[in-house]
Structure formats: C-alpha cells, structure tokens
C-alpha cells in the first residue's frame, strides 16, 4: 500500500501569537524522516496557509502545498493536502505541525492497525490515555467526504499508543516552554 503524510501547518496560530509552524515544523519533519527513509511513507506534503513557509528548508521527500482556502477550516487544509497526493497513494497519515513529540512508532502502529483491518472507509487514530490524538490514518475512499471541521467529527478506530508518549500540542508560548523545559 502506498502511504503519504499530510502535515497540517496552515492555521493562523492566533493563540500562539506568531507563526508557530516555522518553529515546530522542523521537529515534526525530523520525527517522520525515518519513515520517509525506510519507505513507510512514499512522500510527505506540508500544507501552508496563513503563514508562509520556506520550501527550501524542507527535507527530501517533502513538498509544500499552498492552501488558499485554509481559513475555511482544518478540513479545507486537509483537502488541499490530499489533493496534492498522487493517484497511487491509497492512504494518508495526517499529522499536525504543532505536535513536535510525535513518535514514528505511533505512525507505524496506526498504519499497522489500518492494514490489519483493511477498511479504506474508516479513520484510524492514535490514542493516549484513552483520548484520541495523532497521527490519524485515512484511506482514499474517505477523502471526498472530509468536512470543513476536518476529522474532528469522525469517529475513528482508536489505536492505543500510550507507551509511545503523547505527540504534544503547542497552542501557546507556555506550551512550547513546557515542552522545552
């Protein structure tokens, strides 16, 4: 199965007060680099919106995808990223640019669950302490039905990843300080 990553980095980052994507995106991309290198992921796209990102700073195998409709919601950003993937891509791993502690093993585990059940129409999500988190995996069969709120309204199959550590969620400068502290 051909799998690609869609990294959502299009939001305004209004609670952070600055373009947090520019600070956090390198950390997320560093975490998925082994997955690109070993072929788990065929490619990755980073969805750009409210803030310009530097395509020249992206590693090999990662493309920048502009999303002019980013303000319509995370679903619009996700749809932009999915539309940029090749016809051979059968599933997408959805990641957030503000989850800098993402474990590559969480991606592998959620993908393995998707492969085991082989249900293209279902969404699969990592869970931490019983709560849905990232990454999420969604098959091509479900791409056309992404609502503007994104995958928040979709009930996924939860894949426990507690032992791998929460990917983090940086919404404010204090969140970033807590991660780095």
pLDDT in tens, 1-18: 899 999 999 999 999 988
20 φ, ψ to 5°? Answer: -60, -25
- Taking residues 90-102, what's their average pLDDT? 94
Distances (CA, A) of 101 to 18, 62, 82, 166: 20, 19, 23, 7
Helices (H) and strands (E) in the chain, counts: 4, 7
Residues 6+ apart with CB under 8 A from 77: 8, 10, 11, 47, 49, 67, 70, 150
pLDDT in tens, 112-164: 999 888 777 789 999 999 999 999 999 999 998 898 888 888 899 999 999 99
pLDDT at 38 over 90: yes
pLDDT-based confidence at residue 181 (cuts at 50, 70, 90): low
Instruction: Domain count for the chain, please give it.
Output: 1
pLDDT, greater one: 44 or 119: 44
Under DSSP, the state recorded for 108 is: H
pLDDT in tens, 51-79: 999 888 898 889 999 999 999 989 999 99
Query: Is the dihedral angle over the CA atoms 125, 126, 128, 134 positive or is it negative?
Result: negative
What CATH number corresponds to the domain at position 9?
Answer: 3.90.550.10
Q: What is the pLDDT of residue 179?
A: 78
- Taking residues 15-37, what's their average pLDDT? 92
Alpha-carbon torsion, ordered 4, 180, 130, 137, to 10 deg = 0
Q: Domain residues for 147?
A: 3-180
| Alpha helix positions (H), 38-159 | 74-83, 104-117
Model-wide pTM > 0.75: yes
What's the distance, CA 103 to chain centroid? 12
177 φ, ψ to 5°? Answer: -60, -40
Q: What is the pLDDT of residue 60?
A: 85
CB 89 within 8 A of CB 150: no
Determine whether 129 is exposed, middle or buried from the number of CB atoms within 10 Å of its CB (0-12, 13-18, 19+): exposed
């Amino acid at each position: 199965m051909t799998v690609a990553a869609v990294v959502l980095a299009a939001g305004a980052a209004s609670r952070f007060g600055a373009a947090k994507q520019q600070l956090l995106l390198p950390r997320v991309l560093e975490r998925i680099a082994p997955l690109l290198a070993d072929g788990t992921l065929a490619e990755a796209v980073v969805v750009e919106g409210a803030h310009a990102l530097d395509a020249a700073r992206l590693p090999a195998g990662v493309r920048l995808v502009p999303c002019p409709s980013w303000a319509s919601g995370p679903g619009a950003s996700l749809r932009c990223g999915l539309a940029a993937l090749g016809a051979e891509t059968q599933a997408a791993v959805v990641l957030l640019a503000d989850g800098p502690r993402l474990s590559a093993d969480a991606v592998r585990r959620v993908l393995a669950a998707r492969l085991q059940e082989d249900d293209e129409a279902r969404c699969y999500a990592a869970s931490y302490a019983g709560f849905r988190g990232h990454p999420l995996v969604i098959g091509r069969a479900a791409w056309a039905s992404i609502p503007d709120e994104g995958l928040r309204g979709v009930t996924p199959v939860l894949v426990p990843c507690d032992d791998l550590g929460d990917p983090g969620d940086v919404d404010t400068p204090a969140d970033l300080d807590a991660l780095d502290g």
